[in-house]
Amino acid sequence: MDQHPILKATYASRAESATHPLTAYLFRLMELKSSNLCVSADVSTARDLLHLADKLGPSIVVLKTHYDIISGWDFNPHTGTGAKLAALARRHGFLIFEDRKFGDIGNTVQLQYVAGSARIIDWAHIVNVNMLPGKASVTALADAAARWRERYPYEVRTSVTVGTPRSESFDDDPPSSAPQANGNTADGQSGGSGLGDGKVDGRKGSIVSVTTVTQHYEPATSPRLTKDMAEGDETVFAGIEEAPTDRGLLILAQMSTVDTLAGPAYTAACVEAAREHGDFVMGFVSQQNLNTTADDQFLSMTPGCQLPPEGEGENGVVAGDGKGQQYNTPRKLIVGKGVDMVIVGRGILNAADQKGEAERYRKAAWEAYLERVR
């Protein structure tokens, strides 16, 4: 594969350059927890789901769910299964990815996302879409997320960073004309100002750049954070703020099955749609890194990851599951294919020691990332 510059960029540096608030937050989480592991929580009861999320939360940065295979799902928006998952995500520091694979006309996918009994948008930070119906499904989900955020009660926090260059960066003589200052935008969400390197009333001028960043968070008074929650559920993982309320989309661009119909033309259309909706699309579920142009900053999450039995190393045999699924090791995916995160399901869920196996996968995937960026 072509060596896109992003393959050598650290997660910390990508957090600084990311334009999607949720992507930036996820990269910060990955750096903080030394983890690029997503666990696919393919269990069948709400009790098992919450237990698994609590047990494996310290090792992961994303929990992938299929709410429609869960029996006993409590749909109460404030105290139900989704709200409890969100509380565990805050406590342990991970994001929730509902693997819904929306795949219908625009109006239908909007309703599936924001309405119905599950109200997925309320508790899932990330969802994905099967783009076979076309780009309209991506546009429809983006519009639905934008409208939801306008109506959803949130808390606005603004941070201002002021930078002044060193004195040696100034010329002895001022330029013939100083640039005009640019004020902050009216809504206060972003902006900058620059003052010229000229002399005013005989005094040496300076250059000051101001960057203002505003993000939206769920307010601490939200009933989802306080009402009928167990003691400690409202706590936030140490070292990072709670996730922004912004929602994100992954496009299903490639699959790990033997006879997938997601060919090159389909994948190219997925990348094109992602570029058109960069304020909502975080990246792809894919089998390789799909960044090709200089401006591409998309992340890639990859299923079909498995380690050989402990003691065999990554050169051991990793067979398929006999149902069309193909497996690759973390190193092959992260170093060889350039993906950012691995998604592991049965390799961890079927282990006698799920917590210990999750740590084994986390360490292997993280070491592969460190090898790639060296």
- The residues that are catalytic are 99, 101, 104
Nearest Cα residue to 305 out of 263, 368, 353: 368
DSSP code at position 324: S
Tokens of 263: 């060919």
Structure tokens at 51: 């237990």
CA-wise closest residue to 338 among 30, 6, 16:
6
The structure tokens listed for 87 are 């509380």
| Greatest C-alpha distance within the chain | 80
Contact 39, 58 (CB under 8 A): no
* Residue 42 counted as an annotated binding residue: yes
> Left if phi > 0, otherwise alpha if psi is -120 to 50, otherwise beta: which for 202?
left
**8-state DSSP, 9:** S
Rounded Cα distance between 248 and 97, Å, is: 9
Known binding residue 325? Answer is yes
367: buried, middle or exposed (CB in 10 Å: 19+, 13-18, 0-12)?
Answer: middle
Both tokens assigned to 336? 């060889």
Q: Residue 256, annotated ligand binder?
A: yes
Is 64 annotated to bind a ligand? Reply is: yes
How many Å apart are CA 309 and CA 327, to the nearest integer? 13
Beta strand 299-302 with 281-285: parallel, antiparallel or unpaired?
Answer: parallel
User: CA Rg, the chain, in Å?
Assistant: 23
**Which residues define the annotated binding site?**
42, 64, 256, 325, 345-346
Binding-site residue numbers for substrate are 42, 64, 256, 325, 345-346
